[in-house]
Amino acid sequence: MPNIVIPYKPRALQKILHGQIDKHRFSVVVLHRRAGKTVMCINHMFRAALTNKLLNPRYAFISPYRLQGKATAWDYIKQFAGKIPGTKFNESELRCDLANGARITILGAENDQAIRGISLDGCVFDETQSIKPTIFPEVIRPALADRKGWCIFIGTPKGRNSFYQLYQSAIKNPTWYACTYKASETDILDEEELQAAKDVMSKDLYEQEFECSFQAAITGSYYGTIIEDLAKEKRMVSNLFDEDIDVETWWDLGMNDQTAIWFVQRYKKEIRLIDYYENTGHGLDHYADVLKKKGFEYSTHIFPHDVKVRELGNYAKTRLEALLDLGIVGEVAPKLSIEDGIEAVRKNLVNCWFDKDKCATGIEYLKAYQKKWDDKAQVFKSKPQHSYASHCADAFRTGIAGQGIELSNWKKQVPVNTNYIV
């Protein structure tokens, strides 16, 4: 292949990062907004793809959602690869094919079943803080194994969630690279621009987005403050299961077969969350098997109201009828507005205990469940942000709306602290 010059002139910081990433198979890079991390990573992939001597190299740019990746990265891919001779673009598949057989594809993490089974020489996780934490260990890490591929994780903090844990793990692992660069340190954005951001953003949001603070509040969190209070009150314990008390389950059956289940025991006024399970890409028989293998004695199962909707195929059965066929007999929670359901959860969380080990994922997702942010208006919307945390939160809301929960007075507003510090 003739010498190819990619039309990319890295900034001083980008040069530093390229040098470090080259030396490490796995890198966790925490950078402030508008630092150029997407452009840097895309061009890192191009260089790797053009110099890879293996047959048909494969690379992926992974965003929380495919459409998000298209909005943030696709134009950059076309901009830089368009100058490389022999490059072809597939708009429908968001795929770039280079003349040497290498391929770079934009993928969305919202449906992990759609990206299982692939093989990768390298990949980039964009906005890692908003990607379901199981995607890398369960889907992407195996995809890198046979080619000994590399991975770059980029993002900004979002509380002490899985991205924080990944960053902390990388710091302690000498084979990984980890770094943080704040807006006040890089000089990429001038002081006037930073001050303009401060003028319209809350302190917590500015610290999170521009100063890369993992300690800053997750702005817009519905349940974060309450859950942190529960932790301080030592309501997060190990081995919470009591064999003398029957178990009930709280369900969310989402789109694309995404299902979340809480396992719950009640003792007097206490609501004990003893286990949590979620998965995607499986039929209801899979979840029936999960319930059986847990070995619990079940008192009831509480399903969301849309379990009564008839689906195409399966002889037009509702999912409720399909569950009954599998021997899972339960009750359907009343249909409530999202706002009323969220208020009910906040009122009842004060009575909750959690198994901190078996419910670790569920606890993290509840903390990450937040209001949707309107970038144009610079305000939070009244509706929640749909994310990897949604199914977990919806299942919890189903249970609270279900049998045995006080349903009165939900219209009375409960003060919401949309910031919390972890």
Which tens digit of pLDDT belongs to each residue from 324-359?
A: 999 999 999 998 889 999 999 999 999 999 999 999
> What pLDDT does residue 418 have?
44
Over range 257-281, report the average pLDDT. 93
Give the sign of the dihedral formed by CA 185, CA 189, CA 191, CA 195: negative
Q: Which two tokens stand for residue 133?
A: 């934490």
Distances 100 to 2, 30, 40, 83, 124 between C-alpha atoms, Å:
11, 32, 22, 15, 21
- 102 near 26, Cβ under 8 Å? no
pLDDT of residue 111: 82
In the DSSP assignment, the letter for residue 72 is I
147/30 Cα distance (integer angstroms)? 26
Quote the pLDDT of residue 315: 52
- State the pTM of this model: 0.67
pLDDT at 381: 76
Every domain of the chain and the residues it spans: 12-209, 224-401
Each residue's pLDDT tens digit, 40-78? 999 999 999 999 999 999 999 999 999 999 999 999 999
Q: In the chain, pLDDT over 70 holds for what percent of residues?
A: 90
Which band of pLDDT confidence, cut at 50, 70 and 90, is reported for residue 217? low
Topology given in CATH for the domain delimited by 224-401 = Nucleotidyltransferase; domain 5 (3.30.420)
Fold of 12-209: Rossmann fold (3.40.50)
Residue-level pLDDT at 270: 94
The pLDDT assigned to 7 comes to 82
